[in-house]
Each structure stands twice: as structure tokens, then as C-alpha cells.
Structure 1
């Protein structure tokens, strides 16, 4: 079986802990193509897939994109272009899905998760809007399933203490990727920042990566009938 994983740095697995490595351990006989790219937005992903189309023989493809269309607005440097409004997001996302579905037997559209572990900040409210848009688009396709990762983390963070830490420095993000590579060190940094599932409010620590791998794994088992 061949599975495509399309997305941004969360899919690539840097900085933070790679959920893809957990999937590879759980499904050793499956091939996982990690097509995550740091800083990717729906606009830049559309360009990438247009210039370099997917191979035509994926059994299952996950699309996890959208967080940088909000998060990049907090950064001093935007590495990739972002959409101007939700209507443009919808158009680009729909075109990306059309590209992917022609190359894959099944497609899972994953909503962006969180920006900061404070559920009430304005960035998470905007991500919720993007999740509704993605859910609306996927509801029109029988071969596309919707995984609401935003809701998953909102439920997990609905109880207990929450930190409002969000890393908005490109330099510090690069330092995290360079100096914090092992899960124990990453989890210790999360603890120091008061974070439960992320290293910086966006990228995953081992607890967050485990949750994402479990959600992805459930779809793999269901759709590919292990």
C-alpha cells in the first residue's frame, strides 16, 4: 500500500516530533511518501502540485494544510504567499483537492489544528472558520473524508491549564528545529513553555504527534481494511 502525506512543516516533522515516524513504525509494510514542506500555504501548495503533479497510484492521501495561512500573518517574514480572504482560500483548496483525488483512491482532508494552546485567541477562531470551509468542500465528494484535527485538539485542551505561548520568531523556530531533535528534549522544552501538545503553539511534541498518528492510523485501518 502506498500513502501520500501532503502538507507543511507539521507533516514534514520539523521542528518538533514527527507523527509520520510513528505511522511508519505502526505500519512497517506500507510506503509513506512524506510530502510536507515548511511554510506551505494553500496558495504555494497549489503552485507546487501544479508544477509537480502527484504520482497516480496512491491508495490513500492525507491533505493537512491551512495553518500557515493564518500563522504566517504573525511572523515578520512570510516565506510563502497567503490568500487574501476565505473565498480565495476556498477556491485554492478546492483546486488542490481536485488535483489529489485524481491521483488517489481515497483522500482525507485534515483541518488545521491550533495556533497556540489558548482556545480563545483570535487565531484559533479563524482556524475554526477554515475548518468549516474544508468540511463544507469535502461534503460534496463521496471519496473524500474529513478529519477535524482542530476539534480534536480543542477537546483535549478544553480542560486543564493552558499556555498562551506562541513562537512568532523565525529565528527561534529555526533554533528549535536545530537544537531540539530528540523527543525527550522537545517535550522538556514544551514543559518549560507550559505547553501540553506542541513545542511552540503550532508544531507537535511527542504527545501531540502521538494523537495525530492515532487519528491518521484509524483512517488507514478503516479504509485500507487491515
Structure 2
């Protein structure tokens, strides 16, 4: 059994989870949590790892370590929402150096319990790959790759796959997440329907996401294929 830890991208709300498109779904369990960060996810795993015989973990995390601080300055309503997320324990790393140290601690914890680990790098945040946010994502992903190599952990380059798709299109000022958090609630509800997911992506001229961040079916299917290719079933 693969325990799939992550944030809303793994959870599939808004949007759809890559787990829906995995072959042999019975061998995968979804532990995604909306808004989760590396620190929050590590705390969850620390509470859980000692009580399970499962040996295989898939880790998808890091988006909110970049996105939550951005959203805090995106709008006043988001600032209030982000404050609540942080108070719940989903605390973003303050910089890439802390991110590296916390990632090392997470992998060390899993190795102490003899777990096998596959990590997924941070997806694009917005479908404009040249944005300031995605420049920051690149910095974090380069650091993550270094940690994965240091611990001899398999890393899935989903971000690179996304960029290979985006580069096929002339993407100019694509839609990005709403400044109104309540509209995200609508997205979370509406995108649970596959037909509405497709319509929302198409209306927003998005290719792999429903809002610039959370995956649509094409994005989820792409991630699923990359994940399954690294798994032993």
C-alpha cells in the first residue's frame, strides 16, 4: 500500500486528484490535506508513521510554502483565511533554507522507520511559467532535487512535465486564483463534477489546471502516469 501524502493537489479539492487516474487504485491511499505545508505534513506523518506497517510513501508537498505567503498579500480576505490556516498548524517555511532543512528531517524520519519514499516536486503555480511565483518554485525545486539526491530518493519531475505542455501553447496572462476565497469554495464544489471541471478549465483558457494551481483531468492523468511509472505493484 502506497500512502500518498500531500496538499489539496493530492486531495483533489478543488479539481481532481491524480489518485483517480492510477491503475490498481486499491494499492494507494489518499492522505492529501488542503492548505498543507511541509511543516504541517511532517507533523501528520510523525504522528502516523509509528503506527503503520505500510512501507511505501509518496510525498507531494511544497506548493503552499510558496503560495500561502503570496495569498496573504493577495487580498484582505485571503489574509484572514491564511491566518486561520497557519494557526491550524499548516505553517509555511520562511525561506528555501528552512524548506531544505525540514525536508531533510522528514526524509530522515521516514528512513528511521525503514520506509521507502518517492517525492513529487512542486507543480507550477499558475500556467505562466515565467511568473515570479514560478521563478520561486524553480528555486525550491532545485533545492528539493538536491535533497532527494542526498538521500537517494526517487524524484518525480511533474513540474518539468507541466512546462513541456505549457511551452506548446502561447500562454499570455492566464487566469490565476480568485482574490475572493469564497469563490474557491464554489470551485471546490463545482470541480468535483468531471463535466464542470472541463468547462471551467476551458472557460478560463487553462490547460492542466482549473484555476492555475489545482489539477484538471489532463493534469491529474499526467501526474498519475508519472507516479505509477515509479511504483512497484
Mark yes or no: TM-score above 0.5.
yes
**After superposition, where does 1:112-151 map in structure 2 within 5 Å?**
112-142=122-152, 144-151=153-160
SS of 1:14's equivalent? coil
Aligned match of 2:167? 158
Using the TM superposition, give the Cα deviation of residue 202 of structure 1 relative to its aligned residue in structure 2, in angstroms.
0.6
1:93-148 CA distance string (max 9 Å, x none): 11112223344542111111111100110111111111111110111223x11112
Aligned equivalents of 1:113, 1:54: Cα separation in 2: 29
SS of 1:126's equivalent? helix
TM-score normalised to structure 2 length: 0.87
How much is the aligned-residue C-alpha RMSD, in angstroms? Answer: 1.7
Matched, 1:27 2:24: yes
Rate the CA distance shift 1:103–1:183 in 2: closer, same or farther, 3 A: farther
Question: Matched residue pairs, number?
Answer: 217
Match of 2:36 among 21, 35, 40: 40
Return 5+ residue gaps in structure 2 as ranges: 72-77
Rate the CA distance shift 1:182–1:122 in 2: closer, same or farther, 3 A: same
TM-score normalised to structure 1 length: 0.89
Aligned match of 2:200? 189
Aligned equivalents of 1:73, 1:150: Cα separation in 2: 20
Aligned equivalents of 1:111, 1:100: Cα separation in 2: 18
Aligned equivalents of 1:104, 1:191: Cα separation in 2: 44
CA contact (8 A) 1:60 1:106 kept: yes
- Higher relative helix content: 2
Q: Which segment is superposed worse, 64-73 or 43-52?
A: 43-52
1:197-225 CA distance string (max 9 Å, x none): 000001010100110010011111xxx2x
Aligned match of 2:97? 87
Rate the CA distance shift 1:123–1:54 in 2: closer, same or farther, 3 A: farther
- Runs of 4+ with >6 A deviation: none
Using the TM superposition, give the Cα deviation of residue 11 of structure 1 relative to its aligned residue in structure 2, in angstroms.
0.6
Match of 1:64 among 60, 67, 79: 60
